[in-house]
Structure 1
Amino acid sequence: MKLHWSPKSPYVRKVMVVAHETGLVERLERVRSVAAMLEPNDRLMRDNPLSKIPTLVLDDGTTLFDSVVICEYLNDLAGASLFPEAGAAKWRALRWHAFGDGLLDALILWRNERDRPDASRSERLMNAFERKTIASLHWLDEEAQALQSAPFGIGHVALGCALGYLDFRFDSLGWRTHAPRLAGWGEAVHARPSFASTVPTLAG
Structure 2
Amino acid sequence: MRLLGTSASPFVAKVRMAAVLCGIELEFVSAETMEPSDTLLSANPLGKVPVLTTETGDQVFDSSVICEMLDRMSGNQLIPQTLDAFTRTRTFEAAASGVKDALILCLYEERFRPEDKRHAAWTERQMAKAERGLAWLEAHLDDLNEDPSVAYCALAALVGWMDLRFAGKVASQAPKVRAWTDAFFAAHPELAAVKPHLA
User: Taking structure 2 as the reference length, what is the TM-score of the superposition?
Assistant: 0.91
SS of residue in 1 equivalent to 2:96: helix
Which residue identity does 2:177 align to in structure 1?
Answer: L
Shift of 1:130: 2.0
Write the distance in 2 (CA, Å) between the matches of 1:202 and 1:13. 12
SS of residue in 2 equivalent to 1:46: helix
Write the distance in 2 (CA, Å) between the matches of 1:105 and 1:165. 12
Give the equivalent residue in structure 1 for 2:79: 83
Write the distance in 1 (CA, Å) between the matches of 2:97 and 2:190. 18
Give the equivalent residue in structure 1 for 2:33: 35
Give the equivalent residue in structure 2 for 1:74: 70
Give the equivalent residue in structure 1 for 2:151: 155
SS of residue in 1 equivalent to 2:194: coil
> 171, 175, 179: which one pairs with 1:180?
175
Structure 1: segments with no counterpart, 5+ residues = none
Write the distance in 1 (CA, Å) between the matches of 2:43 and 2:89. 30
* Structure 1 moving runs of 4+ over 6 Å: none
- In percent, how many aligned pairs have the same letter? 35
SS of residue in 1 equivalent to 2:45: coil
Shift of 1:12: 0.6
Write the distance in 1 (CA, Å) between the matches of 2:98 and 2:46. 19
**1:157-181 CA-partner distances (Å, limit 9, x unpaired):** 1122112221111115x22121222
Give the equivalent residue in structure 1 for 2:140: 143
Write the distance in 2 (CA, Å) between the matches of 1:142 and 1:128. 21
Contact persistence 1:110–1:129 (CA under 8 A): yes
1:1-204 correspondence runs (5 A)? 1-25=1-25, 28-36=26-34, 39-115=35-111, 116-147=113-144, 150-171=146-167, 174-191=169-186, 192-203=188-199
Q: How many residues align?
A: 197
Shift of 1:7: 0.5
Write the distance in 1 (CA, Å) between the matches of 2:56 and 2:30. 21
Contact persistence 1:21–1:194 (CA under 8 A): no
SS of residue in 2 equivalent to 1:152: coil
Structure 2: segments with no counterpart, 5+ residues = none
Write the distance in 1 (CA, Å) between the matches of 2:137 and 2:42. 39
Which residue identity does 1:134 align to in structure 2?
Answer: E
**1:56-93 CA-partner distances (Å, limit 9, x unpaired):** 11111111111111111112212242111122001011
Which residue identity does 1:111 align to in structure 2?
Answer: L
Q: CA RMSD in A?
A: 1.7
